[in-house]
Structure 1
Amino acid sequence: MTSSPSPGTAPDAAAAPVTSSHPSEAGGSLSLPAVGGWAFLVTALIGRLPAATVQLGLLLYVSGAGLGLGLAGLTVAAAGLGSAIGAPLVGRLVDRFGPLPVVVAATVAQLLGMGSLLLVVLHDGPSALVLVFAALIGSANPQVGAIARARWSAIARRRRLPGLVSRALGYETACDEVGFILGPVIAGVLVGLLGPNPALGVLMAWVVLGQGCFIVYLLSRRGLAVDTHTLDVADGTAPRIRWAAVLPPMLVCLCVGTVFGSTQTVLTAINDARGTAGYTGLIYGCMGVGSALASMLVSRLPRRLPLSVRVAGGAMLVSLVALVLLSIPGPAVLGLLFMVTGLGVGTMLVSAYTRGEHVAPSHRIASVMTMLTTCLVLGVAFGSALGGVLSAVPRHGFLLTLAAGLVGMVAAVALHVTRSEPGRTVVE
């Protein structure tokens, strides 16, 4: 299914027709910069970094401002809840109006929330307001990653390059992992060097800079960033989201998020008990590195191997977590094991996003992508909370990680049997 650019659309180098003399070249041999353009790749990466920085930044800010670790934890929970509620709305608005006005409005709302939070803390305002503005900040996340994924889908459909989607979503997942790794580091450095109040001011500037870069890109390519909302709605017979097809990738994302959240909590408990707290971030980062590598590698495998790859990824995750449950090694070996575990996690995550793109109606791509991202965020929150309870005996927290891996593997297999949107051809 194809779509023509909207009237008045700015020229886009990425929109030039590409012909292929061989079916296997339908997006498979084209580099992502050649198709999407370096401007898109760079600004979409930079644009999602503030969201990865703000969450831990809020935790460190509230705690560093002397309001207590308990309120700091509730603040992060409020931001996560706000994100879970706001993300589907943001996705629906992007599908309806396009990304530019939504990203601009979300960025403005986020800055207002952060500025209001700063004023509340400076004037010793009530704790309830801290939570309200944290929820506003979370709900105003512009979901740059989901918008980027939707744009790749729009390009692939417009230019009839089905092989492009898997590679592009693998790259986007790797970008998310880069954000997961760099965001907390940036937040910790800012609060540690500048103190809480100046750090929050810098975080606001970081939001303007990072998301502003993506807004500038959208301005320069207005109408081409995501015009999936124009693909199926012209005749008024646009298909609806088929939840039976979307639920398996949502469940995979929920399970992957639970793996991330429980692992983070359990590693913290283990290293605190050992007196090696400084290694927690490094070991957790190893899993992110492994996941990022898998995201890039899996997208380059032959397209006829998706089911075997999903099973292998889930089995790798489950096996290694079970091994760690039997005997927890030292920091170096643990980091290596979790890097390999990350390969399994990344494999499942790319499979989920790819399948989500396949089964989503053309005019609801951004909505489905944000729902998958929301499930990932909710999984992290759930895994962190329940993992913290189980980690009274540190290694017991990995039981939740193991259970999430098993359920995720079953759900990843179910991705294979769901069908795509009627009228679309999906090549397994």
Structure 2
Amino acid sequence: MRTAVTRYRALFATPGVLRVALPSLLGRLPIGMSTLLFVLVVYAGTGSYGAAGLATAANSALTAVTAPALGRLADRGRAVAVLVSTGLAQAALLVALVLALRSDPGLPLVVALAGLAGAVNPPIGAVTRVVLPRLAPDPQAVQTAFALDAISVELTYVLGPTVVGVVAAVLDPDAAALLAAAITAAGAVALATAPAVRSAYAVPRPAVPTPRGRRHRGGRRRGPLRTRGMIVVLAVAGLEAAAYGVLEVAIPAHAGHLGQPDSAGVLVAVWSAGSIIGGLWYSGQTFRIPPNRQYAILMCANLLGFGSLLLATGLPSLGVLLFLAGLVISPTTAVEYALVTALAPKGAETEAFTWAGTAVYLGFAAGSALAGSVLSSTLATARGLTVSTVVATALVLVGAALTVAYRRRLATDCSVSQVGSIRSR
């Protein structure tokens, strides 16, 4: 752990890193706030949990749909404009939602405003994952930068709901929504004005037309989904997220079945705490094996972590097992980021990360929907957690099998992408 502290200290001392990392963490807090926020705000305004669920689903679905397009615009030299415009637009839409809910609106308007707020979700995470590693002075610092971002994601999901809960309890849900609007705007604008962001997204040269009206090969833009390796990483990320989605519905249901519903939040927080500790450990390691093999090993470790939850005999033992299972989450995420960077064509890195985000959003939504529909009859029973864990473990098993089966393909596609990037410079 001492090595990790030394590496983080060196990374934070690198010019421009804090100017990117701090606004990024701030601007992403509303992502962790969003689910609880929409449930509380929409329920308070409509008195319907059904309406709250539809609003939350619309917000997540449109985020998944529009994120790649926003990432593509950023890669084309418009990152600053995208961050500022989406940050301000999302803030305005959250304010509009609060105002609309005070005047007894119809369900279509509520869902539309929530969905539009998701459609303009600022690509803060994707931009950060492109810019931060470029500031790192050496490969070890790059690994630390990816681990830092993975830890930031976990902090977002720990701090976000906490902020919403405290503000809603002290003031009201509307105040929490207005705070989220202010945080979104401040974080997006602060990140957009960071010098490293402006310099990282130089406007590309226009393509030179040939006599036949086609573009030269040097001006042709390759999308990030052109390699099988990228598809494999996105599929694995989606399967992981689906497994988390299943358990994040099953764990509260299990706690409620045992008569301790308030412990659900603690259990999920313990899971995230394990991930943060694992990320800190990963930052201090020096690995000789390449990322594609690390990915396969970590996914197999995730498989063991999910499967171990079947050994839980009560909430205390479940908490211990969740902490241990969480130790490999951030390292796996950091390796995924490294693979996405290596697999993405030059000039399409931000779009690649937004596709990764889309895979996670859709996977988590699918897992949550699976738990809430197919598994709903068993969730509040004695075997609910067991059945859900088996399903989640099966999803991770498929992901682990893909990383093992395609580990050589990942290495080959990474090498091809890196050679292409060098030739394009």
Preserved CA contact (<8 Å) 2:131 2:197: no
Aligned residues: 391
Q: Per the alignment, do residues 32 and 416 of structure 1 end up closer, same or farther by CA in structure 2, a change over 3 Å counting?
A: farther
* Mapped partners of 1:247, 1:115: distance in 2: 37
Give 1:195's aligned residue.
172
Q: Which residue among 22, 41, 63 is the counterpart of 2:43?
A: 63
Q: Secondary structure at the match of 1:125?
A: coil
In structure 1, the gaps of 5 or more residues are: 1-27
* Mapped partners of 1:222, 1:319: distance in 2: 39
Give 1:400's aligned residue.
391
* Mapped partners of 1:232, 1:342: distance in 2: 46
Letter in 1 for 2:78: G
* Mapped partners of 2:9, 2:288: distance in 1: 19
Give 2:401's aligned residue.
410
Q: Per the alignment, do residues 84 and 188 of structure 1 end up closer, same or farther by CA in structure 2, a change over 3 Å counting?
A: same
Matches within 5 A, 1:332-343: 332-343=316-327
Matches within 5 A, 1:64-103: 64-103=44-83
Give 2:158's aligned residue.
181
* Mapped partners of 1:303, 1:381: distance in 2: 34
- The one-character-per-residue Cα deviations of 1:125-176 (angstroms, maximum 9, x if unpaired) are 21001111111111111121111001134446xx7x4444332111111111
Question: Is residue 317 from structure 1 mapped to residue 314 from structure 2 by the alignment?
Answer: no
Give 1:16's aligned residue.
none
* Mapped partners of 1:93, 1:188: distance in 2: 35
Question: Is residue 364 from structure 1 mapped to residue 325 from structure 2 by the alignment?
Answer: no
* Mapped partners of 1:223, 1:112: distance in 2: 24
* Mapped partners of 2:277, 2:295: distance in 1: 15
Question: Is residue 278 from structure 1 mapped to residue 258 from structure 2 by the alignment?
Answer: no
Question: Is residue 137 from structure 1 mapped to residue 103 from structure 2 by the alignment?
Answer: no
- The one-character-per-residue Cα deviations of 1:227-269 (angstroms, maximum 9, x if unpaired) are 2764997952454432312111111211221122111101011
Question: Is residue 106 from structure 1 mapped to residue 103 from structure 2 by the alignment?
Answer: no
Give 1:152's aligned residue.
132
Give 1:32's aligned residue.
11
Q: Secondary structure at the match of 1:380?
A: helix
Give 2:232's aligned residue.
248
Q: Per the alignment, do residues 146 and 265 of structure 1 end up closer, same or farther by CA in structure 2, a change over 3 Å counting?
A: same
Q: Percent identity, aligned pairs only? A: 25
Q: Identify the range of structure 1 (313-322 vs 228-237) with the bigger mean alpha-carbon deviation.
A: 228-237
Q: Per the alignment, do residues 329 and 308 of structure 1 end up closer, same or farther by CA in structure 2, a change over 3 Å counting?
A: farther
Preserved CA contact (<8 Å) 2:140 2:286: no
* Mapped partners of 1:297, 1:231: distance in 2: 42
* Mapped partners of 1:153, 1:400: distance in 2: 36
Give 1:344's aligned residue.
328
* Mapped partners of 2:348, 2:55: distance in 1: 31
Q: Per the alignment, do residues 167 and 58 of structure 1 end up closer, same or farther by CA in structure 2, a change over 3 Å counting?
A: same
Letter in 1 for 2:420: G
